[in-house]
Amino acid sequence: MGHGAVCAFLTEGRAPEGARAGPGERRQVWAGRLESWRGLPYADLAFEGLSRLATDIPAEDLRRLTRAAYTPQIFNSEDIVPLRPLNDGLSLLGLSEGPTLAFKDMAMQFLGQVFEYVLTQRGTTLNIVGATSGDTGSAAEYALRGKHGVAVFMLSPHGRMSAFQRAQMYSLQDENIHNIAVRGVFDEAQDIVKALAGDLAFKAKYRLGAVNSINWARIAAQVVYYFHGWLRATDKPGQQVSFTVPSGNFGNILSGHIARGMGLPVRRLVLATNENNVLEEFFRTGIYRPRPAEQTYATSSPSMDISRASNFERFVFDLVGRDADRVKALWADMARDGFFDLSALKPQFEAQYGFVSGASSHEDRLATIRSLYDETGVLVDPHTADGVKVAREHVEPGVPMLVLETALPAKFSETIEAALGRPATPPGNLANLESLPQRVEVMDCDAAAVRRYIEAHAKV
Ligand SMILES: *Cc1c(COP(=O)(O)O)cnc(C)c1O
């Protein structure tokens, strides 16, 4: 990755054309080096991992940034990412100890540090504009609150998030955080963001930026916890572990794929979906057939209700031998026919890349939450429950199976109540979150109104 590439990712929110698949040369990590990382604090492991992936930040600066991002105070855990044993060979990799109780914090807290660092260095400012239906927007706000040189304008669908999610976002009182609730659904909020970003003069004048899931710095920051999980679950070189990842946009599991490609001894990468099983179907059949919005179900693991996975292209690029023309042709097939067919390569999915998949339903989710709680006393959120359900189908004797915990149960308490007959309690420091004063601008679904609001409040 050339110098300045991180800056391009920050302002564009995506890799420039041609670099869509991420840096071509990911530095391999040798077994001896991996062993020397045992016992490192998470922040220092993040420095080691990221210095191999985000090569345009000088080492001493990068170390400072990772130490500022990954503290026990921010993550409410000494270990930052705790590993908890469940039963039957499964363990839970706790990615949700951050301020918004979901795994998006893992990358976003680092990204928040990088934003401030780059903007200070360049003596410039940036106005982040985004739309959220929950987890990404709140993680971005918590990562950027109070940071110099950056403001956040986050659109959310009015009245369509859970009470806890609303309280999380709208209770932020920082002057650089702006919550805009639009009277409409998520897609309409997203359309406003697209319209504003599409107005190039406006975009340039107010230096608009994005934080979405196709962002190399985010994917790179997530690679670290796969290394951390392996180091905590093993005690000798070369020992294999498997990971199960609750998936929607293919962002989280893409980082697992990259970690494996760097030489981490990963046996299987198990992709778990809910009823929106486009990705599960691909790994089962080799056919990728995204669905239109009206065929995307609203489920009780809502952060996985996605039918067009924005990070999937990067994996397909590897699958077809890093042939960009082939990828382009496949996406052209999809635009024409509604699908593409890689079933000829299906034998490689597991043999070469370790990928297998499974899907889960609402009933599975409830049954898994209940049985896991009865058997182990551990309560998991609905997304993680989808992971546990599918992990149980793919666990092998002698190979630790780490299920990635993508949210804490308190964030999705309605479903916990449906499963157990009682709600999930939030961590102690968030017990009175819903009674805090809230700060939100409610608006009609009108791009011109949002634009006027940004003009009046943007960082200049
Ligand atoms: C974002 C999210 C997911 C899906 O992750 P992808 O990277 O989009 O595959 C799963 N669970 C929760 C709780 C999330 O917030």
Mutate to test the pocket of ligand 1, among 304, 308, 403 (most ligand atoms within 8 A of CB): 304
Distance 311 CA to ligand 1 centre (A): 12
Helix (H, G, I), strand (E, B) or coil at 88: coil
**How many whole angstroms separate alpha carbon 107 and alpha carbon 262?**
19
With a Cβ cut-off of 6 Å, ligand 1 is lined by 102, 104, 135, 213, 246-252, 303-304, 383, 406-407
For the CA of 381, the nearest atom of ligand 1: 13
Position of tokens 């179900």?
297
**Domains of the chain, with CATH numbers?**
79-101+216-420 (3.40.50.1100), 125-206+427-459 (3.40.50.1100)
DSSP count for the chain of H helices, then E strands: 20, 13
Distance 273 CA to ligand 1 centre (A): 10
Helix (H) or strand (E) holding 127: strand 126-131
What is the distance, to the nearest Å, from the Cα of residue 448 to the centroid of all Cα atoms in its chain?
A: 30
Instruction: Enter the DSSP assignment of 460.
Output: -
**How many whole angstroms separate alpha carbon 241 and alpha carbon 246?**
17
For the CA of 250, the nearest atom of ligand 1: 9
104 included as an active-site residue? yes
Beta strand segments in 302-432, E? 340-341, 355-359, 401-405
For the CA of 252, the nearest atom of ligand 1: 7
**How many whole angstroms separate alpha carbon 91 and alpha carbon 105?**
21
φ, ψ of residue 239 to 5 degrees: the values are: -65, 135
Distance 251 CA to ligand 1 centre (A): 8
pLDDT for the residue numbered 151: 96
pLDDT for the residue numbered 188: 87
The backbone region for 13, taken as left when phi is positive above 0, alpha when psi lies in -120 to 50, beta otherwise, is left
**How many whole angstroms separate alpha carbon 50 and alpha carbon 133?**
29
pLDDT for the residue numbered 12: 43
Distance 253 CA to ligand 1 centre (A): 10
pLDDT for the residue numbered 384: 98
**105: exposed, middle or buried (Cβ count in 10 Å: 0-12, 13-18, 19+):** buried
Query: What token pair was written down for 79?
Result: 């270990």
Distances (CA, A) of 264 to 237, 278, 312: 10, 27, 21
Packing angle, helices 251-261 and 312-319, rounded to 10: 30
For the CA of 309, the nearest atom of ligand 1: 8
**237: exposed, middle or buried (Cβ count in 10 Å: 0-12, 13-18, 19+):** exposed
pLDDT for the residue numbered 5: 44
Beta strand segments in 265-336, E? 266-273, 287-288
Helix (H) or strand (E) holding 107: helix 104-122
pLDDT for the residue numbered 19: 37
Condensed to tens digits (0 to 9), the pLDDT of residues 25-77 reads 467 888 889 999 999 999 999 999 999 887 789 999 999 999 999 999 999 99
Output the CA torsion sign for 145, 151, 155, 159. Answer: positive
Ligand 1, atom 8: nearest CA belongs to which residue? 249
**How high is the mean pLDDT in each 10-residue block of the chain (460 residues)?**
41 39 61 93 97 87 97 96 97 97 96 93 93 87 94 91 89 97 87 92 92 77 97 96 96 96 96 97 97 85 84 94 96 96 96 98 98 98 98 98 97 94 89 93 95 95
How many Cβ atoms are within 10 Å of 294's Cβ, its own excluded? Answer: 5
Condensed to tens digits (0 to 9), the pLDDT of residues 188-203 reads 898 999 999 999 999 9
Helix (H, G, I), strand (E, B) or coil at 268: strand
Q: From edge to edge, which strands make up the β-sheet containing 355-359?
A: 83-85, 90-94, 401-405, 241-246, 266-273, 355-359
Distance 104 CA to ligand 1 centre (A): 8
How many Cβ atoms are within 10 Å of 295's Cβ, its own excluded? Answer: 10
Mutate to test the pocket of ligand 1, among 108, 225, 252, 275 (most ligand atoms within 8 A of CB): 252
